[in-house]
Amino acid sequence: MLKIKRVYDPPARGDGERILVDRMWPRGLSRRAAAADKWMKDLGPSHALRKWFGHDPGRWGEFRRRYVAELHMQRDALATIARKAARGAVTLLFGARDRDHNQAVVLKAVIGRLPTKAPPRKRRCAA
Q: What is the pLDDT of residues 73-95, one digit of tens each?
A: 999 999 999 999 999 999 999 99
CB-based contact 2:90 (threshold 8 Å):
yes
pLDDT of residue 127: 53
Give mean pLDDT, residues 47-54: 96
- Provide the mean pLDDT of the chain: 92
User: What are the residue boundaries of the structural domains of the chain, listed by start?
Assistant: 2-112
pLDDT of residue 68: 97
Q: Give the integer Cα–Cα distance in Å for 98 and 85.
A: 24
pLDDT of residue 116: 72
β-strand pairing of 38-39 with 90-94 = unpaired
pLDDT of residue 81: 97
Give mean pLDDT, residues 3-16: 96
CB-based contact 111:84 (threshold 8 Å):
no
**In which band, very low, low, confident or very high, does the pLDDT at 124 lie, cut at 50, 70 and 90?**
low
Give mean pLDDT, residues 42-61: 96
Among residues 8, 3, 18, 2, which one has the least CA distance to residue 98? 8
Q: Give the integer Cα–Cα distance in Å for 98 and 55.
A: 8
